[in-house]
A and B are shown apart, each in its own frame.
Chain A
Amino acid sequence: MKDTLHIPSLRLGQPYRSLDTLKFSLGEQTLEVSVANSGLIRRDLQHLSRVVERLHEYPCETLVGYCEKAAELFLHGDLPWGDGDRLQSPADYVAALSQLTGLPHTLGRLNMGKVHAAMSNIRAVLTGLTRGLPLELFDRGFVRRDGLDVNFFPQTNSLGVLLPSNSPGVNSLWLPALVMKVPVVLKPGREDPLTPFRIIQAMIAAGFPREAFSFYSTTHDGGDTLLFGTGRAIAFGNDTTLKKYEPYRHIQVHGSGRSKVLIGDDFIDDWARHLDVVVQSIAANGGRSCINASSLLVSRHRDAIGDALARRLAAIEPLPRTHPDALLCGFANPAMARGIDERIEELLRVPGAQDLTARYRQGPRLVERYGQTFLQPTLIACDDLEHPLANTEFMFPFASLLQVPQPRMIGTIGDSLVVSAFTNDRAWGDQLMMSTNIERLNLGPYPTTRVQWEQPHEGNLFEFLYRRRALQGDLAAVV
């Protein structure tokens, strides 16, 4: 009989073994994940205020230290697999993550590095989020800065997060909440309970009070309970998710990124020099992130750029999950890969689009190799932005290529999570900085996947969790 590992729910930090479980094969072992019912979650949420008090027993400076220590434990430590005595090494984690999600070991380690960096750079992250306010703000709610009294207060007693399975690095988004003394209530993605559970174990081992972590693999109903039962919540999903939760201002939805690379007039004749950055923008992390570019807009040379880029992308081939150069991810759910492939083929029948990678890649887009189902990188040249493939994204290295005059680019790209604008043109740079449809802007030839810790990723978690209060009067007596 196979050895069974079990990941429990965490009810305010306390392990709970549910009778409902999800089961996954990890080769020699079976992984069982407890599935919590929604009522159980609702009952736990009633006790969150008590957890906030517990977090307030620790100075923020101490929590920051714990976070930095947790970074090392996450990256290098042996941490509990689940509710038993068994410990999970970093190599165990990477192998299991790969088995569950299709992520090659290389990308598993890369994402581990991202999470580690987010934790070890927590001071820089907080500086970026608060625009340099001192940490004591989270201890007293009050700081005096340049002679100005500033009071911020938490708007919630918890942060609920519905996590995806596609990219473990997104877990870095919720980490700062704990240091800001806001407990987290997490629903892991179905195929990746491992990453948030390992992060939690690292944080508890580093010193965080275990009550601050609630962790529930759960149903859709349980997910909604979490979103509506916490004062502030984050959900990851597609356009449907975005639409569903749009009316609720306490829920922040991270939908499709539709990130883009724009090459301006001043860089376009030198495009070949920047091809690496474009390939990286499209294909880094297996093209699974919302910060991967899904469109490239050029002002000239579309055909030459398209041909060169298609060659480069087509050269990225499926490799075994353990291969040191593996970049493409297999799909944990092959039906999803088939659905995406069929959808692209269907939309290619709409006139005005051409698959430039088709002539260079080995075999069709959808391939079965090394026991997995892959979608090979795809570049589609579109004649105009109205084509249904021009401004969409899929969970593999996929991009559209369009030729658009520079002055029209900002007005036509639509909402975009990240835009890397390859330009030194000051006037255009000013226009980009004043644009309302770009969440994160990289100016210069930088990949869309670039991270600077002092810059918020998507929305500002501090502003989401805390609110500034006008503070006037006789402060000397109380502060």
Chain B
Amino acid sequence: MSSTLTVPAAQAALDAWTREMVAWHFSPATGCDYWLSWAKTAGWDPVKEITCFADMAKFEAFDDEVLRKEQPERFVPKAYAGRPYNIFETGGTTGMPKQRIGWDDYKVDYEEFSDHYGPDFFPKGTNWLMVGPTGPRRLRLAIEHLANHRGGSCYFVDLDPRWVKRLIGMGEIAMARKYQEHVIDQAATIIRHRNITCMFTTPRLLENLAERMSLVKAGIKAVFAGGTTMTPQYVRFVVEEVLEGKINFAPTYGNTLMGLAISRKLKPEDNYSLTYYSPQPRAVLRIVNPDKPSELMPYGAYGRVELTTMTREFFVPRFLERDEAIRRPPCDEFPWDGVGDVRPFQSLTKTIIEGVY
């Protein structure tokens, strides 16, 4: 389901939501210990000074180290006090992972995702299989919720990306391959013995699975994938060969801090170049000048991805992601800026272990 707003109306809605969320997180009645303490020493009052989203530039870029150092309790908004929360992790290949707490955000995000695709894309009332990182990740609960929300159940095969990255770091290429095979063995077994129609997996695992079997013949109707870079060539390969041009494909860009950004429907003129749109107004993605993050890049240019998350459960202003992307204009489906052809930040100049699972 596309947004019904015009671009100016979406901007107005974002500005109103920004004021509401800033008031929520910086009010002693509803805000959390971390942000209330921060405000005492900030030297300015966000509630007074943030009147629209553009004013968020007054915040410095969020340092995500905070999510490693601070106890999760410090992020519990007063309004949620006493309600047990989920702890979701990201990173953590070595050392302490980053942690985000939450209650219902993932449900809201994935219900919205579900509504965007309508009943036929992921056939309703059918079963799902998730093959990928589960463990302490938000994704695991989110996919199960998505399956349930659409009237189905979800099977799971876990892959521990921390271990894969460690194996590769140690030069244990053969062992990493064996582990990947082990994961694919399990997924193939479930698909052969259970009625699976929809899948979530990472692009790499999807490829590997399709090397074992025709996913079309296995009865898969739709695949939702995310987690690693997908170049236009890669998307084309997945659509034409892995999914044999017959399986619905929903590429997404997301993480624990944001939720998930949906990709707009591919048109022939896109030439398989993906553009993702954040779940605005709850999260906003901007493409900024890497050397001067307060500046937006022009449309069509690569820049660093900046994320602002504003829900009642969680507030992260201006977090600079480890990704870069092309700034793309609003489209029919989403009346706000999108981010295209996402890839790891400075991937053209650095060696990055990516796409390993």
A interface residues with partner B (beta carbon < 8 Å): 18-20, 35, 37, 39-40, 42-43, 46, 221, 224, 228, 244, 247-248
Contact = CB atoms under 8 A, between A and B. Distances in A.
Given A19-B272, A40-B241, A248 B234 contact: no
- Listed from nearest, the 7 A-B pairs whose CB atoms lie closest are A39-B207, A19-B233, A20-B233, A19-B232, A18-B233, A37-B234, A40-B237
Nearest to B354: A221
9 contacts: A19-B271, A19-B272, A37-B234, A37-B237, A39-B238, A39-B241, A40-B237, A224-B173, A244-B173
A224 B355 CA distance: 13
Nearest to A245: B173
B174 interface: yes
A39 B236 contact: no
Interface in B155-191: 171, 173-174, 177
A43 B244 CA distance: 13
Contacts of B211: 39, 42-43, 46
Interface string B232-267: 111011100110000000000000000000000000
Contacts of A221: 355
A37 B174 contact: no
Contacts of A19: 231-233, 236, 271-272
A43 B232 contact: no
Q: Which residue of B171, B177, B233, B236 has the most chain A CB atoms within 10 A of its CB atom?
A: B233
Contacts of B171: 244
Nearest to A20: B233
Interface of B: 171, 173-174, 177, 204, 207, 211, 231-234, 236-238, 241-242, 271-272, 355
Majority DSSP secondary structure for residues of B touching A: helix
A246 B174 CA distance: 12
Contacts of A18: 233
B233 A37 contact: yes
Contacts of B236: 19
A228 B173 contact: yes
A37 B207 CA distance: 11
Nearest to B240: A40
A46 B238 CA distance: 17
Given A19-B232, A46-B211, A39 B173 contact: no
Given A37-B237, A39-B207, A20 B231 contact: yes
Contacts of A43: 211, 241
Contacts of B177: 228
A276 B86 CA distance: 76
Nearest to A45: B211
Contact of B237 (A39, A46, A244): A39
A441 to B, nearest CB: 33
Nearest to A228: B177
A248 B174 CA distance: 9
B168 to A, nearest CB: 10
Which among B234, B238, B242 has the highest number of chain A CB atoms within 10 Å? B234
A370 B237 CA distance: 43
Nearest to A220: B351
Contacts of A244: 171, 173
A35 B207 CA distance: 17
A298 to B, nearest CB: 39
Nearest to A246: B171
A20 B232 contact: yes
A42 B207 contact: yes
Contacts of A248: 174
Contact of B174 (A35, A40, A247): A247
A244 B236 CA distance: 32
Contacts of B271: 19
A244 to B, nearest CB: 6
Nearest to B173: A224
Nearest to A39: B207
B233 A35 contact: yes
B174 to A, nearest CB: 7
Nearest to B236: A19
A27 to B, nearest CB: 25
A221 B211 CA distance: 17
A18 B173 CA distance: 27
Most buried by B among A40, A228, A248: A40
B272 to A, nearest CB: 6
A228 B173 CA distance: 10
Q: Which of B237, B238, B242 has the most CB of A within 10 A?
A: B237
Nearest to B273: A19
Given A19-B271, A19-B272, A37 B231 contact: yes
A18 B234 CA distance: 9
Contacts of B204: 39
B275 to A, nearest CB: 15
B242 A39 contact: yes
Nearest to A18: B233
Given A37-B231, A224-B173, 15 more contacts: A19-B231, A19-B233, A19-B236, A20-B233, A20-B234, A37-B233, A37-B234, A37-B237, A39-B207, A39-B237, A39-B238, A228-B177, A244-B171, A247-B174, A248-B174
Most B CB contacts (10 A, CB to CB) among A39, A46, A221, A244 go to: A39
A286 B1 CA distance: 63
A39 B202 CA distance: 13
B145 to A, nearest CB: 30
B266 to A, nearest CB: 12
Nearest to B271: A19
A40 B211 CA distance: 10
A228 B175 CA distance: 12
A244 B272 CA distance: 35
A240 B127 CA distance: 47
A19 B239 CA distance: 13
A320 B355 CA distance: 43
A195 B194 CA distance: 51
Nearest to A46: B211
A166 B233 CA distance: 28
